[in-house]
Every structure is written in structure tokens, then in C-alpha cells.
Structure 1
Amino acid sequence: MTLSHDSGGTGRPVLLLHSTVCDRRMWDPQMVALASAGLRALRVDLPGYGDSPVPAQPYNPAEMVIEVLDGVDEFAVVGSSGGGAVALEIAARWPRRVSALALLCSAGPDLDPSPQLREVWAQENALLEAGDVAGATELMVTTWLGPLADDATRAHVRTMQRHAFEVQLAAAEVEELEVPYEVEAVTAPALLVSGAHDLPDFRTVAADLAARLPDATHVPLDWAGHLPSLEDPAALNDLLLPFLTGR
């Protein structure tokens, strides 16, 4: 199974991996900006999101993404939240192929969930088990978007999250395979972004990775929640583009 994907622009490739609250449409505000900066943006729907169904067999998301990049020898990768965890795995398992790594409010392999995060997961599971997909969707929108997100952005995330729930609930349960890797195997320079209005877990992940990666910069954003690329695209692009272009 090939993951759904599309691209825009020409030049050095930049892989975009979405949050697990969204799908590849979350990168709409970055696609034009990256192309205008002389980069080729390639965005992928992870398994069970957007136009990518849940596979019928056990799968590893990072390996499925690498299949999309067949023929692309070197690329930068930008990952948001759960997509950040996939981006980190790719950078660690295929370090020679990753030229730069940007993680936006990323999850990580050693995440120890806080009481706040455990409560969000418990509420989400309870709502989905009760068949209240709308309620679970609204919980995600409320939890993961910061104060700068406008009504249109909230509606956009609501659409993506509800679709993901519907796709995943309609599919059979299939194991997602975890492949062990060492974070310290990453060689690419890394930009680690966290948000002051996010749950504390993701600030902890960013600080931890900043201490463990060989060439990392942690940039806390005082205005951001969990999805800064959607909450204030212009501000995030102003941070991301110089990192990716070196200008």
C-alpha cells in the first residue's frame, strides 16, 4: 500500500508529516511558502489519516513513508506532534538521507504521559466507546489548538480529526510495529519548537531532545499551543524557512 501524498514546488525536498489530530491538509499554509522559498514540499497522509487507509497487515509508519521517498536520496523533514515522532524515527534510522529535522510540539519515544495527557486520552476513549465521535472531535479541537487559532482554523482541524476518527473506527484493528532506534543516531541539525499553551509533555520532549541530539536548537513559542503551523502560519514560517534554506 502506498501512502497518499502530493507535492508542490521544485528544489531541495522537504517532507511534511502531519499531527495525528490532522492529515496532510494541515500543511496548506506551508506549501506555498516552501515553494516560494525554492523548496519542493512533499506531504504525506500517514496510515489511517486523510486519504491513506489503515493497512490490512501490521505496519511501521516510518517504513511506509520511506517507500514514498523511493528515489529521493536526501531530504529535510518537518514533523508535527505524532508526525514528529515518525520524523524523528526516520532521522535516526536513515540518518544519511535526512539533511535537516524540524519537530513542532513533537511526541517522542520516551514520552512519560503527564496526568493532564492521560486525562485527555481517557476522555477521548470514553467518548469514542460511547459512539460520540462529535464529542471526541470537539475535545481534540479544544485541547490541541492554542488561543491564536481562529474559527476557520478550528473548523479545519475539526474536519480533519473527525475524518480520521471515522476512517480508524471503520477499520479492523491492526498492529502498528515499533522498531527500536537510538535518538542519538540522528546526525541532522534539528529545530525543536514547543508552545507555552500546549500540554507540558511536549515542552519536556523538546527540552530532552535538545539535550540528546548533537546539533539541536529548542525554540519555545510564548504564543503557541500544540499546532503552531496552523495557529499562526506566518510566524511559524518565519522561523521554519531560514532553518530549511540556511538563509
Structure 2
Amino acid sequence: MTAGDEASLTLPDGRVVEYFDGGDPSGLPVFFQPGSPNTRIMGKLWHPAAAVAGVRLISVSRPGYGGSTAIMGRPTLSVAGRDVAALATLLGLEQYAVVGSSGGGPFAVAAAAVDPRRVRALGVVAGSGPWRELAAPSTEPAERACLARLDEGDLAGARAGMRDLVENVWQAGLRELDGDARLDAWLGDDPLAPDDTYRAIMADAMREVLEGTEGAVFDGLALGAGWDVDLHAIEAPTLLWYGDADEVCPVAYGRWFAERIANAELVVIPDEGHLAVGDSHRPEVLAALLKAWQ
């Protein structure tokens, strides 16, 4: 089994998108949107299952992560969706599927919404929803303050506030730690944390995420702002996987998507939390996407 390839391409607007091209090179193409904050490196976790399933897995780094050019304008879901469509065109793909995990879920949804003609299947694995609408008003007050600035048209203020949160709150806590302690803090209660292969991939991802702030700023503003994609435009069969013990991205998010996307199926997994749903079902997710494609 090959290890997959790191690559990048320049989009028509001059920006660069980095991606990991793994799985089966001759398989049906599936674009993967990793969680937030995270990069294309997470595609390496999906690579073995994709190779077995006959899937060409293309995992993207969104704007501002790694070598993907940052967006200085208003961050939106549709920007990331159009980037996938442009990348698919550059790769010569006439059809493809998209899947997103956790914070990457809405970006996968955006890809299906902006390119309904070519997207043949959509998967959301424990994906985030419009949390300002669905979560309690008391949650994430600092992020809500940044997003309120964005609502008022103060893009510079919103970006500065979110950048401060990323750099001086979230990243600062990790930078105070070294080696395994930093990685353990990053992984939290992830059930796969003891696995050496998993740890190595996650350590690479963590290092890249900590190199800058713009990717996390993009994600934070795009995910929290008013969503700019029409879910009713999605034509692809859509599969939604959520755990009924997930407190990060609860089943309510899955129901929200299912109520708005035609031809959507919600799968509720008993007794599983957020990380378990994201890490334990890759073979069945890929198999279901291929079946839906047909």
C-alpha cells in the first residue's frame, strides 16, 4: 500500500490549495474536509480504509492552514466549497463525493451545495451545525462577541478578536507544554490516543496547526457566521452519522441537516461520543458513500 502523496495546486484566482491524495489512485474520488482546527494531514488516517474500499481520498487544507493561501476577505462556507469544486476541475474530475468530519462537516455540505451537478454523494460524520442558532446562548461567549462584530460588518474587528482567541487562549495553552504532554492535551480523551501510528499522524497535524493562526480564524468565523449556502440546492444522496452520547456535535445538529437536505438519511449511533463517531466508522462511511453514489 502506498502512503499517499502530498500535493498542491494553484486555483484560478491565484491562491494555493494544499491537499493529501491517498487511498486507491484509480478509485472513485472522495474529497475529505477535516475537523477544525486541522489540515489535510488528517486524510492519512482515512488512507488505509480508502485504499481497501477502492476510494481515491483527497483531503484538503482549508485557507490559512499549512501552505493553503489565507483568505483576507470575509470567511464563508461557500469559499471552501468553491475551492473543492475548483480543485476537482484542476484534477480533471467529472464527478466526486464529499465527506466532512466534525468542524469539517459544514464545509463538505458547502461543497455539495455549490457544485450539485458533479457531487454524487455527501457524508457528514459528527459534523458541526449552526451552533449559534442551536446551542444555548451562554455557550462560547468570547466567540459570540467576535461573531457579533462580523454581524455588524466589522470584519477587521472580528478577525482580530478571533485571532487573539486562537493565539493567546487556545494555542497558548498548548505552547506551554512540551512533547508528549502537548500531544496528550491536544488529543484529550481520544480513545485512539495510545496508538503509535495515530499519535504520529496527529503530532504532524498539531505542529502544522500551531504554525499559524489564519486557518483557525477562517474556520471559526465561517462556522459561526450566518451560513451562506443553500442546503436545498444539494442534490446528492446525503448520509449523516451522529452519536447519541456526543456533547460536542449532538444529534440535534444531524436532525437540523436532515430537515433541510432532500434525500438525507440520519444514522444515530448508540452510546458513542464525538471522537468515537469520528474515528471508528471510516470503512462503513466510505462503503455507504460508494453505495449512495451508485
Q: Provide TM-score, normalisation by structure 1.
A: 0.78
Q: 2:62 aligns with which of 20, 39, 46?
A: 46
Q: 2:284 aligns with which of 216, 239, 245?
A: 239
Q: 1:129 aligned to 2:168?
A: yes
Distance 2:104 2:47 in 1: 17
Q: 1:180 aligned to 2:221?
A: no
Distance 1:20 1:183 in 2: 21
Distance 1:116 1:135 in 2: 28
Retained in 2: the 8 A contact 1:229–1:237?
no
Deviation at 1:56, TM superposition (A): 5.0
Deviation at 1:43, TM superposition (A): 1.3
SS at match of 2:252: helix
- 1:30 maps to 46
Retained in 2: the 8 A contact 1:91–1:186?
yes
Retained in 2: the 8 A contact 1:54–1:168?
no
Question: Equivalent residues in 2 for 1:22-101 (5 A)?
Answer: 22-55=38-71, 60-70=79-89, 71-101=92-122
Larger Rg: 2
TM-superposition CA deviations, 1:157-183 (whole Å, max 9, x none): 455245314311699999869772221
Deviation at 1:76, TM superposition (A): 0.5
Retained in 1: the 8 A contact 2:32–2:100?
yes
- 1:113 maps to 135
**Percent identity over the alignment?**
25
Amino acid at match of 2:35: S
Question: Equivalent residues in 2 for 1:129-168 (5 A)?
Answer: 129=168, 131-134=172-175, 141-142=187-188, 146=190, 148-152=191-195, 153=198, 156-157=201-202, 159-168=204-213
Deviation at 1:237, TM superposition (A): 2.7
SS at match of 1:7: strand
Distance 1:226 1:58 in 2: 29
Distance 1:198 1:120 in 2: 23
Deviation at 1:99, TM superposition (A): 0.3
Retained in 2: the 8 A contact 1:104–1:193?
yes
TM-superposition CA deviations, 1:178-218 (whole Å, max 9, x none): 77222121111111011244325432111111222221121
Distance 1:108 1:82 in 2: 8
Distance 1:227 1:159 in 2: 18
Amino acid at match of 2:28: R
Structure 2 stretches lacking a partner, 5+ long? 1-14, 145-161
- 2:11 maps to none
Q: 1:103 aligned to 2:148?
A: no
Change (3 A) 1:215 1:120: farther
Distance 1:171 1:107 in 2: 15
Retained in 2: the 8 A contact 1:77–1:102?
yes
Change (3 A) 1:56 1:121: closer
SS at match of 2:235: coil
Change (3 A) 1:159 1:30: closer
Q: Provide TM-score, normalisation by structure 2.
A: 0.67
Distance 1:16 1:85 in 2: 12
TM-superposition CA deviations, 1:45-104 (whole Å, max 9, x none): 112224424245556222222221113221010111222111111111211111000001
Structure 1 stretches lacking a partner, 5+ long? none
SS at match of 1:245: helix
Structure 1, 197-206 or 61-70: larger mean CA deviation: 197-206
Distance 1:173 1:58 in 2: 8
Change (3 A) 1:62 1:206: same
